[in-house]
Structure 1
Amino acid sequence: MKKYILKRLLTAIPVLLMISIGAFVLVNLAPGDPADLYVVPDATPQQIEATRRALGLDQPYPVQYLRWLSRALRGDLGQSFSTRYPVLPILISRLIPTVTLMGTTLLFSYIIAIPLGIISARKQGTWIDTLLTGGSFVGVSIPNFFLGLGLIYIFSVQLGWFPTGGMSELGEEGGLLTTLHHLVLPVSVLSAFYIANMTRYMRATMIEVYGENYIRTATAKGLARQVILTRHGIRNALIPVITIIGTDLPRLVGGAIVTEQIFQWPGLGRLTIVAINQRDYPILMAVTILSAVVVLLANLLVDIMYAVVDPRIKYD
């Protein structure tokens, strides 16, 4: 296993290099000149050129990339075009709110969805199964922006139970209770999709597992239903479900752009939108690389979880 993990980590190096090249090319192919946003409307060509020089945009693209890469290898992701502050502290300050929001969402969703999927599978064909399946389709189909605006109107504007956005009250230091109070609505919006999606997958997997021969054998031997469910059913059903969890983990960093915008959540998703509007290339490059690293680590973690859940899986 150690050799396998080391091999995967070494393989990730050229992958990250290719991703950084692709991200750099795409960012710089975007129409418009970032220098136009940071000069006065009636700026002279000399002033625009001086701004380009200050931003490091006066050099050829290969030189710009190699400069960025050399700094990135030393842990320096450059300076933001808009604020002139180092990118790394900005990224860390926005990463914590995003991990808080998405971590709470995924944890809450899995706690709710996995039992619902098991119940739906055990009650297959009954009104309970129909209700849960129908609710899952609604949860997957409803747009985040529509649900978010609806919850804000009902629970914030009309009832006044929850704040309309942000992570804390203006002018106050956000404590645990304040953060939890602000988390309720955005977590509810995001959880609607994740609960519905995981419930459907868990239901389908459990139905497939219940049809396996070893489940019939355990039932014929007279084992209690609870024992069959916990020792045989859930453990084998978790193998394909782990794949879904692996695709959800990168969202811990990527965040939910639409939901963060609606609730003015100070995370990476909102930072990405601001960086796109301001053509802040260093911020965009940093967010892209960070997302790529998380995706690669999530894939590695999924492979390790496969071996933990199913002892038959060996990595030589």
Structure 2
Amino acid sequence: MKKYIIKRLLTAIPVLLMISIGAFIMMNLAPGDPTDLYVSPDATPIQIEATRRALGLDQPYPVQYVRWLGRALQGDLGINYSTRYPVLPILISRVGPTIVLMGATLLVSYIVAIPLGILSARKHGTWVDNLLTGGSFVGVSIPNFFLGLGLIYIFSVQLGWFPTGGMSQLGGESGFFSVIHHLILPVIVLSAFYIANMTRYMRATMIQVYGENYIRTATAKGLASEVILTRHGIRNALIPVITIIGTDLPRLVGGAIVTEQIFQWPGLGRLTIMAIQQREYPMLMAITMLSAVVVLFANLFVDIMYAVVDPRIKYN
């Protein structure tokens, strides 16, 4: 297993390199120039060129990329154009809120979805199964922005139960309970899709497992349904579920962009929108590389969990 993990980590190096090249090319091919946002409309060509030189955009693209790569390998991800602050501290300050939001969403989603999927499979063909299946289709279909704005209007504007956005009360205490209070609505919005999606996958997997011969044999031996479920059913059903979890981890980073913007959550999603609007290429490169690392480690985590759940899987 150790050799396999080391090999996968070494393989990730050229993959990250190719991702960085592709991201750099696409950002620089996008229409517009960052200097347009930092010079006046009546600026002279000399002033525009001085601004480009100050931002490091006066060199050819290959030279800019090599300089960025050299600095990135030393832990320097560049300078934010608008604030002239280093990118890395800004990125680190936004990772924490996103991890809080993502962690709470994953926890709520899987705690709710896995039991619902099992219940739907055990009640296959009944009104309970139909109700859960119908609810899953609604959860998958409803857009994040629509659900978020609807919850804000009902529970924040009309009822006043929850704040409309932010991570803490402006001018008030930012303690644990304040963060939880601000976290409830964004977590509901984000987890709605993942609960619905995971419930459907768990239901389909459990129905397939219940049809296997070893389940019939265990039932014929007179084992209790709870024993069959815990010892034989769930563990064998977790293999495809782990795959879905692995795809959800990086997808949450992208899905949080809309939700963080709606609820003004100070995380990576909101930072990404701001970086796009202000053409902050160094910040966008840093966010892209962070997302790529999350995807690679999520895939590695899935492969490791396969071997943990199923002892028959061996990595040589």
Task: State TM-score, norm by structure 1.
Answer: 0.99
Alignment partner, residue 117 of structure 1: 117
Distance of 2:149 and 2:157 partners within structure 1 = 10
DSSP-derived class of the 1:261 partner:
helix
Q: Which runs of 5+ in 1 are unaligned?
A: none
Distance of 2:279 and 2:246 partners within structure 1 = 31
Alignment partner, residue 195 of structure 2: 195
Distance of 2:182 and 2:255 partners within structure 1 = 16
Deviation at 1:302, TM superposition (A): 0.4
Q: What is the identity, as a one-letter code, of the residue corresponding to 1:229?
A: L
DSSP-derived class of the 1:266 partner:
coil
Distance of 1:92 and 1:255 partners within structure 2 = 19
For the 8 Å contact 1:152–1:164, the answer to whether it is kept is yes
Alignment partner, residue 99 of structure 2: 99
Write out the 4+ residue segments of structure 1 that deviate beyond 6 Å after TM superposition.
none
Alignment partner, residue 87 of structure 1: 87
Distance of 2:256 and 2:114 partners within structure 1 = 22
Deviation at 1:41, TM superposition (A): 2.1
Residue by residue over 1:103-157, the C-alpha shift from the partner in whole angstroms, topping out at 9 and shown as x without a partner, is 1011101000000000000000000000000000000001111111111111000
Alignment partner, residue 233 of structure 2: 233
Structural mapping, 1:250-265, within 5 Å = 250-251=250-251, 253-254=253-254, 256-265=256-265
Q: What is the identity, as a one-letter code, of the residue corresponding to 1:288?
A: T
* 1:175 correspondence with 2:175: yes
Q: What is the identity, as a one-letter code, of the residue corresponding to 2:218?
A: A
Deviation at 1:191, TM superposition (A): 1.1
Task: State TM-score, norm by structure 2.
Answer: 0.99
For the 8 Å contact 1:8–1:300, the answer to whether it is kept is yes
The number of aligned residues is: 316
Structural mapping, 1:97-176, within 5 Å = 97-176=97-176
Residue by residue over 1:42-81, the C-alpha shift from the partner in whole angstroms, topping out at 9 and shown as x without a partner, is 2111111000000000000000000000000011101111
Deviation at 1:253, TM superposition (A): 4.2
For the 8 Å contact 2:140–2:197, the answer to whether it is kept is yes
Deviation at 1:174, TM superposition (A): 1.1
Give identity over the alignment, percent.
85
Deviation at 1:249, TM superposition (A): 1.2
Deviation at 1:254, TM superposition (A): 4.1
For the 8 Å contact 1:99–1:253, the answer to whether it is kept is no
Alignment partner, residue 284 of structure 2: 284
Decide whether aligned partners of structure 1 residues 81 and 255 sit closer, same or farther in structure 2, where only a CA change above 3 A counts. Answer: farther
Distance of 1:155 and 1:252 partners within structure 2 = 24
For the 8 Å contact 2:190–2:255, the answer to whether it is kept is no
Alignment partner, residue 32 of structure 1: 32
Structural mapping, 1:59-98, within 5 Å = 59-98=59-98
Root mean square deviation, CA, Å: 0.8
Query: Which stretch of the first structure deviates more once superposed, 89-98 or 303-312?
Result: 89-98
DSSP-derived class of the 2:201 partner:
helix
Decide whether aligned partners of structure 1 residues 268 and 140 sit closer, same or farther in structure 2, where only a CA change above 3 A counts. Answer: same
